[in-house]
């Protein structure tokens, strides 16, 4: 496949028309895309009451290929009952993520018991009875409750409440495999775990750092903002071991000029080694310090820890910085020079920063750099973690975490007149480990693909096999349904956001709460998430009379409760009638008054981590997304921007290919300390920094060790030491 020279462009537009045709016409697709629902894919956020394809600033059309893919997937026909007879578990296990996704929409509850060869359809009543029976037979702390960031605030709120009333804090979400390091790092620096700016601030900045992310594929709408910044004469500095095509040149489909001629995105592109960011960021700070380009009075007035940090910077030798980042001094200075002359700077980052054993330190190093020049706590500058799922931030806000904030716990207890457990809850990896030890009996997954998103797939599968019961609430089939099986596994089909009978809400990464109207159901069979959860609550806990589960079927009443319980969410109470979407208070810092107890920010000093020492035949592997997938859901095998037509590949720099004596498309086995993958094609890829290689998640997860960042418990999905051998 010939690589394209720019991201976006005509191919994105042609794709749109093709997708529309596939699902029954342009009108059907247009109607679906324009309905008043928050976009289903990433957390950049669009849609809601301003209508689909509109962002919070009212700009239209804001559309990207992956939102069309997600929409088209939800518009698929239902999986017929015969499918379950015709496909054994062994068949499902042999299917690729893409084949599973394109099997159709889940429309009836299905069950597979240990020893059975197939899933079989069961009634909703039978499914509920089985779940209730198992949950009654075990201690509450023998269960866990996993949430993907695809569900609504309402569903998230009620399910976490149900789990706690049942008696456990083993409540967690996919953020533990995603941006948890950002939440922990930001909270330790500025006292709030989310973006410090709103969209408008970004649009006024004159320098944007894009660190460890590939927004051309994963957050395409960010590209039109980057385009505008470049057009105004602003700069974009990219830090990424891979020269990602779309970050070099992008054709913004909604802009005729950009579409025809393309827009240059990066003004400076720096390629560290995987895991080299902490050293690199420290180097940039050291140079700013040497240039005396820092804001001394800001640091003194509004920050703690400045002197210690400055001492550490001054003591860290340049040789160590260059060696551990893989970036020569001149390039570090070039970044510092640009930073020193910019007036309004925004720092964006994604998984290249968080998916490391030192993820929190990476985030703190970004915050240090920003604080150093007073780039946090005023308009048009700040910190912007580019979040993943469309509502991952919202479910975290409404209580889907193992440890509730003190005020939320207090408010929940007084609002519902209940006493909730205070025993420590497990995070996501903690649940997998406890299940593997045999300490857990049952798991309940609201969306997502817990198996597919896990490191060490063999371990994940084994952990799940040791459970009595696993319940999945999903819209479509995924690898978890084939490989993540307990003694008894139940899949419950749910409605997608735009099929909900009642309105729901979502929170974007800019802390903006949107209202989704829902819409007509596309299939008989799937149920609303809230309805399923309320029914489970009534059947499991109804007799204790603690909660009126009937009212928990009504999203308006759930929002009343959220408004009373979650500080900042007060305005959600009447959003169903006022339709007034809103910005959450206390998260955006337009003045140097931070969310910490005394209002000051904190700088953190770090020792630089060693990059893993590589023997001559070893390389560092990153596991990433292609342009044709959304997490574990693969829509297409192509990775357009990286010029790949298949996924069973390992992308290697030509110099490394030569050194290892490999030829293009040779079959190889990739081995890590955790596992190995055979029959992989070795592909020369000159856009990656030599010494580093790239493979696609989730297929490569058999290679990913269970190493986590001790501070955030986020797995190190990037930076795995591998050996690549012929055959
Ligand atoms: N189309 C699409 N959109 C998505 C998703 C999707 O799967 N598909 N997923 C959503 C979710 S949940 C998330 S979290 C986001 C993920 O968005 P991204 O973080 O952009 O996703 P990854 O594919 O993990 O890409 C990581 C990027 O970091 C770089 N990288 C790897 N290691 C390092 C490193 O050590 N340092 C630096 N500086 N860079 C590194 C890689 O080269 C790659 O460009 O996207 C969201 N949006
Ligand atoms: N090696 C490696 N592993 C990784 C990563 C990586 O970069 N490398 N990235 C990590 C990251 S950032 C994340 S966020 C996790 C992703 O982890 P998850 O969020 O657990 O996984 P997804 O693949 O997004 O979930 C896909 C499923 O969600 C279901 N779904 C879709 N819409 C809805 C809905 O409206 N309601 C419900 N109930 N279900 C729905 C569909 O059935 C689909 O199969 O993976 C992590 N794992
Ligand atoms: Mo994510």
For 364-391, write each residue's pLDDT tens digit. Answer: 999 999 999 999 999 999 999 999 998 9
> 92 pLDDT band (50/70/90 cuts)?
very high
> 16 pLDDT band (50/70/90 cuts)?
low
Residue with tokens 């009638």: 577
Stretch 605-626: mean pLDDT, rounded? 92
Question: Ligand 1 within 6 A of 235 CB?
Answer: no
Please indicate, yes or no, whether residues 442 and 321 belong to a single structural domain of this protein: no
Residue 100 belongs to some domain of the structure = no
- In contact, 324 and 276? CB cutoff 8 Å: yes
Order of strands, sheet of 249-251, starting from the edge strand that comes earlier in the sequence:
7-8, 249-251, 263-264
Please indicate, yes or no, whether residues 380 and 428 belong to a single structural domain of this protein: no
Output the CA 632–ligand 2 centroid distance in Å: 6
Question: Ligand 2 within 6 A of 364 CB?
Answer: no
Order of strands, sheet of 488-493, starting from the edge strand that comes earlier in the sequence:
120-121, 110-113, 488-493, 469-474, 442-446, 143-147, 171-173
CATH number of the domain residue 652 falls in: 2.40.40.20
Output the CA 178–ligand 3 centroid distance in Å: 4
Please indicate, yes or no, whether residues 537 and 671 belong to a single structural domain of this protein: no
Phi, psi at 456, each rounded to 5°: 45, 75
Domain count, the chain: 4
Mutate which of 332, 625, 632 for ligand 1? The one with the most ligand atoms within 8 Å of its CB, which is 625
Closest to 242 measured CA to CA, from 720, 613, 651: 651
Please indicate, yes or no, whether residues 372 and 240 belong to a single structural domain of this protein: yes
Closest to 339 measured CA to CA, from 297, 382, 373, 362: 373
Q: Which atom of ligand 1 is nearest to the CA of 692?
A: 32
> 711 pLDDT band (50/70/90 cuts)?
very high
Please indicate, yes or no, whether residues 157 and 217 belong to a single structural domain of this protein: no
Q: How far is CA 386 from CA 416, 456, 458, 612, 632, in A?
A: 35, 26, 30, 27, 19
Taking 80 as the threshold, does the pLDDT of residue 54 lie above it? Answer: no
Stretch 299-318: mean pLDDT, rounded? 97
- In contact, 216 and 7? CB cutoff 8 Å: yes
Residue 544 belongs to some domain of the structure = yes
Give the closest residue (by CA) to ligand 1 atom 47: 218
Residue 596 belongs to some domain of the structure = no
Q: Which atom of ligand 2 is nearest to the CA of 449?
A: 20
Give the closest residue (by CA) to ligand 2 atom 46: 453
The CA distance from 481 to 452, in Å, is 9
Q: What is the pLDDT of residues 329-374, one digit of tens each?
A: 999 999 999 999 999 999 999 999 999 999 999 999 999 999 999 9
Tokens of 473: 């609430």
Q: Which atom of ligand 1 is nearest to the CA of 43?
A: 46
Taking 70 as the threshold, does the pLDDT of residue 2 lie above it? Answer: no
Please indicate, yes or no, whether residues 198 and 335 belong to a single structural domain of this protein: yes
Angle at alpha carbon of residue 708, lines to 427 and 624, rounded to 5°: 105
Last residue of a domain, one of 386, 405, 434: 386
Question: Ligand 2 within 6 A of 502 CB?
Answer: no
Q: Helices (H), strands (E): how many in the chain?
A: 31, 28
Closest to 227 measured CA to CA, from 242, 240, 243, 208: 208
Angle at alpha carbon of residue 670, lines to 664 and 673, rounded to 5°: 160
Q: Please, how many CA atoms are within 13 Å of residue 360, restricted to the half-sphere of its CB? A: 19
Tokens of 317: 């030798």
The CA distance from 63 to 60, in Å, is 8
Q: Which atom of ligand 1 is nearest to the CA of 179?
A: 14
SS3 644: strand
Question: Ligand 1 within 6 A of 7 CB?
Answer: no
Output the CA 642–ligand 3 centroid distance in Å: 21
Please indicate, yes or no, whether residues 262 and 311 belong to a single structural domain of this protein: yes
Output the CA 628–ligand 1 centroid distance in Å: 13
Domain that holds residue 519: 107-174+391-575
Q: What is the pLDDT of residues 673-702, one digit of tens each?
A: 999 999 999 999 999 999 999 999 999 999
Question: Ligand 2 within 6 A of 633 CB?
Answer: yes
Q: Which atom of ligand 2 is nearest to the CA of 472?
A: 38
Phi, psi at 270, each rounded to 5°: -115, 130
Give the per-residue pLDDT at 262.
82
> 61 pLDDT band (50/70/90 cuts)?
low
Altogether, the residues listed in the chain come to a count of 727
Last residue of a domain, one of 517, 541, 575: 575
Question: Ligand 2 within 6 A of 496 CB?
Answer: yes
Residue 613 belongs to some domain of the structure = no
Give the per-residue pLDDT at 648.
97
> 17 pLDDT band (50/70/90 cuts)?
low
Stretch 136-140: mean pLDDT, rounded? 98
Output the CA 631–ligand 2 centroid distance in Å: 5
Question: Ligand 2 within 6 A of 701 CB?
Answer: yes
CATH number of the domain residue 430 falls in: 3.40.50.740
Output the CA 148–ligand 2 centroid distance in Å: 6
> 544 pLDDT band (50/70/90 cuts)?
confident
Mutate which of 37, 106, 177 for ligand 2? The one with the most ligand atoms within 8 Å of its CB, which is 177
Please indicate, yes or no, whether residues 403 and 464 belong to a single structural domain of this protein: yes
Question: Ligand 1 within 6 A of 687 CB?
Answer: no
Output the CA 40–ligand 2 centroid distance in Å: 12
Please indicate, yes or no, whether residues 218 and 359 belong to a single structural domain of this protein: yes
Residue 608 belongs to some domain of the structure = no
Please indicate, yes or no, whether residues 150 and 65 belong to a single structural domain of this protein: no
Residue 457 belongs to some domain of the structure = yes
Q: Which atom of ligand 1 is nearest to the CA of 273?
A: 35
Cβ partners under 8 Å of residue 583, min gap 6: 198, 510, 511, 512, 513
Give the per-residue pLDDT at 53.
66
Output the CA 176–ligand 3 centroid distance in Å: 9
Residue 559 belongs to some domain of the structure = yes
Give the closest residue (by CA) to ligand 1 atom 46: 388
Question: Ligand 1 within 6 A of 278 CB?
Answer: no
Question: Ligand 1 within 6 A of 693 CB?
Answer: no
Please indicate, yes or no, whether residues 635 and 706 belong to a single structural domain of this protein: yes
Give the per-residue pLDDT at 546.
85
CATH number of the domain residue 304 falls in: 3.40.228.10
Question: Ligand 2 within 6 A of 177 CB?
Answer: yes
Q: Give the pTM.
A: 0.96
Output the CA 110–ligand 1 centroid distance in Å: 33
SS in 3 state form for 463-481?
HHHCCCEEEEEECECCHHH
Residue 488 belongs to some domain of the structure = yes
304: left (phi over 0), alpha (psi -120 to 50) or beta: beta
Please indicate, yes or no, whether residues 382 and 395 belong to a single structural domain of this protein: no
Q: Is 18 exposed, middle or buried (0-12, 13-18, 19+ CB in 10 A)?
A: exposed
Ligand nearest to the CA of 214: 1
Tokens of 80: 């017929």
Percent of the chain whose predicted confidence (pLDDT) is above 70: 96
């Amino acid at each position: 496949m010939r690589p394209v020279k720019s991201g976006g462009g005509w191919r994105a537009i042609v794709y749109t028309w093709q997708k529309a045709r596939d699902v029954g016409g342009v009108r059907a697709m247009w109607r679906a895309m324009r309905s008043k629902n928050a976009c289903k894919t990433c957390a950049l956020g669009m849609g809601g009451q301003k209508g689909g394809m509109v962002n919070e600033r009212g700009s239209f059309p804001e559309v990207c290929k992956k939102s069309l893919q997600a929409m088209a997937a939800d518009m698929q026909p239902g999986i017929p009952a015969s499918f379950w007879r015709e496909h054994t578990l062994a068949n499902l296990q042999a299917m690729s993520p893409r084949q599973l996704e394109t099997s159709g929409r889940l429309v009836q509850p299905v069950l597979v018991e240990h020893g059975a060869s197939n899933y079989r359809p069961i009634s909703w009543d039978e499914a509920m009875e089985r779940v209730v029976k198992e949950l009654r037979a075990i201690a509450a702390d023998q269960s866990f409750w996993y949430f993907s960031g695809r569900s609504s605030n309402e569903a998230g709120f009620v399910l976490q409440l149900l789990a706690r009333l049942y008696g456990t804090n083993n409540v967690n979400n996919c953020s533990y495999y995603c941006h948890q390091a950002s939440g922990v790092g930001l909270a330790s620096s500025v006292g709030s775990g989310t973006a410090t700016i709103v969209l408008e601030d970004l649009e006024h900045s004159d320098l944007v750092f894009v660190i460890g992310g590939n927004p051309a594929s994963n957050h395409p709408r960010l590209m039109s903002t980057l385009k505008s910044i470049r057009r105004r004469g602003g700069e974009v500095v990219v830090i990424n071991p891979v020269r990602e095509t779309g970050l070099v040149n992008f054709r913004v489909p909604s802009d005729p000029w950009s579409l025809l001629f393309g827009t240059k995105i990066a003004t400076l592109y720096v390629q560290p080694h995987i895991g080299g960011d902490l050293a690199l960021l420290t180097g940039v700070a050291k140079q700013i310090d040497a240039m005396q380009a820092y804001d001394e009075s800001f640091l003194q007035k509004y920050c703690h820890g400045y002197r210690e940090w400055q001492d550490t910077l001054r003591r860290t030798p340049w040789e160590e910085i260059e060696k551990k980042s893989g970036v020569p001094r001149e390039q570090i200075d070039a970044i510092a020079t640009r930073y020193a002359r910019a007036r309004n700077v925004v720092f964006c980052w994604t998984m290249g920063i968080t998916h490391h054993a030192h993820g929190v330190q990476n985030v703190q190093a970004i915050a240090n750099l920003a604080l150093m020049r007073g780039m946090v706590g005023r308009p048009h500058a700040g910190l912007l973690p580019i979040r993943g799922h469309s509502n991952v931030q919202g479910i975290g806000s409404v209580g889907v975490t193992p440890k509730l904030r003190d005020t939320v716990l207090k408010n929940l207890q007084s609002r519902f007149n209940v006493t909730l457990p205070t025993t420590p809850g497990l995070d996501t990896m903690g649940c997998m480990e406890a299940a593997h030890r045999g300490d857990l009996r049952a798991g309940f997954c609201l969306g997502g693909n817990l198996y597919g998103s896990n490191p060490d797939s063999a371990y994940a599968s084994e952990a799940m096999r040791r459970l009595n019961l696993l319940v999945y609430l999903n819209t479509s089939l995924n690898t978890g349904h084939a490989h993540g099986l307990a003694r008894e596994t139940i899949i419950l089909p749910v409605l997608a956001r735009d099929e909900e009978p009642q309105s729901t809400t979502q929170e974007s990464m800019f802390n903006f709460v949107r209202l989704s109207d829902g819409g007509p159901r596309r299939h008989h069979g799937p149920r609303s998430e809230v309805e399923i959860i309320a029914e489970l609550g009534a059947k499991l806990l109804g007799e204790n009379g603690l909660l009126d589960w009937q009212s928990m079927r009504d999203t308006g009443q759930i929002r009343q409760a959220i408004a009373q319980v979650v500080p900042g969410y007060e305005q959600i109470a009447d959003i169903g009638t006022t339709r007034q979407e809103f910005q959450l208070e206390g998260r955006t810092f337009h003045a140097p008054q931070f969310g910490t107890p005394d209002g000051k920010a904190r700088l953190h000093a770090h020792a630089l981590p060693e990059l893993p020492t590589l023997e001559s035949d070893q390389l560092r592997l990153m596991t990433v997304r292609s342009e044709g997938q959304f997490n574990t859901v693969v829509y297409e095998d192509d990775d357009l921007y990286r010029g790949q037509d298949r996924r069973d590949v390992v992308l290697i720099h030509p110099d490394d290919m030569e050194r290892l004596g490999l030829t293009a498309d040779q079959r190889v086995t990739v081995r890590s300390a955790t596992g190995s993958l055979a029959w992989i094609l070795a592909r020369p890829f000159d856009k990656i920094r030599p010494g580093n290689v790239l493979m696609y998640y989730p297929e490569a997860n058999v290679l990913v060790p269970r190493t986590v960042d001790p501070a955030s418990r986020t797995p190190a999905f990037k930076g795995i030491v591998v050996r690549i051998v012929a055959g």
